Structure 1
Amino acid sequence: MATIVNERPPRIDLRQARWSRIGVPLFVTYFICFMDRTNISVASPHLAGELQLSAAAMGVVFSTFFWGYVLSGMPAGAWANKGRAKTIIVVCMVVIGLSAGLTGAVHDYPLLVAARIVLGLAEGAIFPAFAVMFINWFPSRERGLAVALTMYTVPLSTAVMAPLSGWLIDISNWRAMFVIQAIPAILVAVWLHFAVTERPEDNPRLDSEERDYIVATRTVATTDESTLLQVFARPTVWLLALVYFFWAMGIYALTLWLPTVIGELTGHGSLMVGLLTAIPFLFGTVALYVVTKTAVSTGRSLGYFIAPCIAISGAAMLGHHFIDLGAVFSFAMLVLSAGSIYSALALWWTWVMQIVPRNQSGASVGFVNLCGNFGGLIGPLLIGLVASPGDTASGFWIVGVGILFAAAVVMVVDARRTRSQQVN
């Protein structure tokens, strides 16, 4: 039986300027982005109470972020390719700070929806610009690692944000929390403007030896153009898009509704809810590291790890719904479902890019990511529509079914790829 060997990623050396001057700033930027994207989850019970919003209305509020997110990605990617990646990131971070702060000043439902749409438009443009910065600054063999490191911000930012947001709400109010947490986005924009350059060739402080190395190696394994028609003609791309749709649906349903569920389960105040909310995401951060390191060290196909990780999450959601063993068991299932859903996230895009043809990787990744964003739009909205009043977690089971289906599709795609590797 053939073994699909995964290339061992290079070690990170922060003495190399590309990691300390670009990798770290982009990591911090995405951390702040995700914090401002999800802090509404802790504030939602207070916000909904003051604005008199139902669970269905809050589901719409959660999903409106993705209305803007899915619209701005492709235009931003095209503009970033024209040498405007840094400009896009700086401007969008300013917009993120302003729109996040505006959320704390809203007094009616339409303005709240508008603020979330603008926030989504700004954040949707960030990652395509990141991609161009990664291409400009990192040798081709290091890009996957650079992208994977940004994935750590997804659970980690929520683990930090949840207790911080709860504490700020307890000592002030939910409006002040939004305003205070909007400030770092503005500060990061100023930092990026003065500290980061679009390309290594433009950075006068970069060592000439490292600059020459980056320029010489960053174009390795670049690919030919491919049409969207060629991408859409590949059934595997549609299967990958389907997986990420259900996976992202679960990620954002859990991320945005979990504080509400924990509050209903425990009856505690904002700070304690925030502290308890941090536990599943800290578990997810640790699991993300362990699974990624294990997958690389074994040399097995990445799909071998992705499928069980997300299957555990789906099974825990169903267990939480159908098995009633008390509050402690319910919380344990929430920790398991939220933690495991993040554990294979760093492997996902590497696996996708291994599967699709090289000359179709850019368009394929863009399409799969777009479908995932639609999952982020549907997941929170679905929970708000189907959950019973006062029992938000009652809607998680339907998301769990979708995640189990996604795990099954991963297994099918991985088995087909393994057989193909054996034949070749």
Structure 2
Amino acid sequence: MSSGVDGAGVTDRRQRRVLLVGASLLSVSMSAFELVPASVTPLIRDSMGVSAAEAGLVVGTMFGTAVVASLPVGAVLDRTDSRLAVAAAIGLLLVSGAWGYLAGTAGDYPALLASRVVGGLAYVVVWNAGIDIVGRAFPPATRATAVSTFTASGPVGFALGQALGPVVAGVFGWPAVFPVFAVSTLLGLTLFWPASRGTGRVEDQPAPTPADLRRVVTDRRVVLVGVLGFLAYSLYLFVNSWAPSYLTEELKLSLALGGALTALFPAVGVLSRVSGGLLSDRLFDGRRTPVVFGSFLVATPVVAGFTSLRGVPVIVAALLVAGFAIQLSLGLVFAYVRELVDPAVAATAVAFLTSVGLAGAFLAPIAAGAIIERSGYETAFLVAGGLGLVGVVLARVASEPT
């Protein structure tokens, strides 16, 4: 199985660091692969003759696949060698990259979507297994910092996909973005594979039973952290998706300036996600709830009052504060949830949180769009602030891991 005694198999500090770097590089490449079609959307539309919504689905399909597949993947990881599962997932991603290239050059839209489903399955395996392995490899005193550092790879990958996708497309054609970013995972794998030896399976632990797995997803504490993850990801994707439109349509900023300002919101997550783990491990002596509570407490009024702000300097400050606050908890909750359950079913707990959190990421932009069409931006931001307020209340009553 994928989990046993935490920290088993890795006793050398240098090995732990290499493992973390390798796992993070894997996640950077896979996150870039996930988002890179967004950077070449006009080329996809022109080449394949599809609508904006259909082009957007090339990105959204991977998120949707992760939502559906995450929990079954977690259950499998708790019953097998998660280290081997990561290697198999990289192989699957290479297949997805090659298939995406062939489908793109042939103008076969259904095949392109199918290739993205395969890529989404590979992504969720690496994400869940990476969190599980990193969480077990590091001792409790530094675990949240390590897991938060791993999750900070997400915004790094998104930024690289957005920046380098058009460059690759300009040289090799837009379908080449799929194999190029798929092959880039091999760098992380060369570091991860030797450093992760001994972390994928603990032989003397019995495999979790279906009843064990069922107890995970019905555990009140796990469900509560799942809801907190749902709320945090909802706020994160709401601002990412609709702040640029608000800045251009309501404040009359240029599209380039609106996009540049909004980019500050996810970019600050590279620092914020690591900081969430450090604060929990160092300042709060391993307690998780103070950081999650503070994350929602600071972000909620900024998001709710965003439409009342005027002036570029004030908007920049608000985006930085909100982005930093919201993402404080996005990495920490993954360390938090796996500590609430027995190590033998930790991957299932992580997978449950991944599925619920990404559901928030998937649904929030859609729901916000409906609210904006009906009632305007001010109402949408107030509703988002209401979600943040729910997060404040839930974080206040959440239990600490024992």
Q: Same fold (TM over 0.5)?
A: yes
Change (3 A) 1:177 1:393: farther
Indicate the residue corresponding to 2:293 in structure 1: 307
Which of 341, 365, 377 in structure 1 is aligned with 2:326? Answer: 341
Change (3 A) 1:327 1:19: same
Select which of 64, 67, 86 maps to 1:67. Answer: 64
Q: Kindly provide the CA deviation profile for residues 12-55 of structure 1, in whole angstroms up to 9, marking residues without a partner as x.
A: x9974422542221121112122222233433455456644245
Change over 3 Å in CA distance of 1:344–1:78 after alignment to 2? closer
Q: Deviations over 1:321-375 (max 9, x none)?
A: x325255554544444333321233332343355567787665444333322322
User: Tell me, what secondary structure is at the counterpart of 1:372?
Assistant: helix
Cα separation, partners in 2 of 1:21 and 1:358, compared to 1, 3 Å: closer
1:372 aligns with 2:357: yes
The 1:354–1:228 alpha-carbon spacing in structure 2 relative to 1, beyond 3 Å, is closer
Q: Is the 8 A contact 2:33 2:181 kept in 1?
A: yes
Instruction: Give the secondary-structure state (helix, strand or coil) at the position aligned to 2:310.
Output: coil
Q: Match of 2:19, as an amino acid? A: I
Which runs of structure 2 are paired with 1:263-302 in the superposition (5 Å)? 265-268=253-256, 278-299=263-284, 301-302=287-288
Cα pair 2:31 2:157 within 8 Å, conserved: yes
1:245-260 matched pairs, under 5 angstroms: 245-254=230-239
Over residues 87-143 of structure 1, what are the superposed CA-to-partner deviations in whole Å (9 max), with x where a residue is unaligned? 321232233244356556534653443333222111111234335644775566665
SS in 1 for 2:398: helix
Give the TM-score taking structure 2 as reference length.
0.73
- In the TM superposition, what is the alpha-carbon distance from 1:184 to its structure 2 partner? 0.6
Structure 1, unmatched stretches of 5+, are: 1-9, 203-214
CA distance in 1, matches of 2:277, 2:225: 19
Cα distance, 1:309 vs structure 2: 1.7
Q: Which moved more, 1:30-39 or 1:151-160?
A: 151-160
Q: Is 1:86 matched with 2:74?
A: no
Alignment correspondent of 1:31: 28
State, as a whole percentage, how many aligned pairs show the same letter: 19
Q: Which residue identity lines up with residue 251 of structure 1 in the other structure?
A: Y
Report the more deviating stretch, 167-176 or 71-80: 167-176
Q: Distance in 2 between matches of 1:285 and 1:375?
A: 21
C-alpha distance after superposition, 1:214-248 (max 9, x if no partner): x9xx999x999763454455433332222212222
Alignment of 1:24-423 (within 5 A): 24-44=21-41, 47=44, 51-54=49-52, 57=54, 60-81=57-78, 83-100=80-97, 103=100, 106=104, 107=107, 109-130=109-130, 133-134=133-134, 143-165=143-165, 174-189=174-189, 191=190, 195=194, 198-199=197-198, 227-231=212-216, 234-254=219-239, 265-268=253-256, 278-299=263-284, 301-320=287-306, 322-323=307-308, 325-326=310-311, 329-353=314-338, 363-383=348-368, 398-413=383-398
Change (3 A) 1:154 1:48: same
Q: Distance in 1 between matches of 2:140 and 2:40?
A: 41
Distance 1:255 1:199, change over 3 A: farther
| Alpha-carbon contact 1:245-1:374 (below 8 Å) kept | yes
Question: Which is worse superposed, 227-236 or 170-179?
Answer: 170-179
**TM-score, normalised via structure 1 length:** 0.70
| Residues 94 and 186, structure 1, Cα contact 8 Å, conserved in 2 | no
Cα displacement string for residues 238-282 of structure 1 (whole angstroms, at most 9, x for unaligned residues): 3222221222233344556777778885333xxx88865653333
In 1, the alpha carbon distance for the partners of 2:222 and 2:30 equals 28
Separation of aligned partners in 2, 1:394 and 1:201: 47
The answer as to whether partners of 2:28 and 2:153 remain within 8 angstroms in 1 is yes
Structure 1 range deviating more: 147-156 or 57-66: 57-66
In 2: Cα distance, 1:45 partner to 1:260 partner: 18
Tell me: CA distance 1:90–1:361, structure 2 relative to 1, closer, same or farther (3 Å): closer
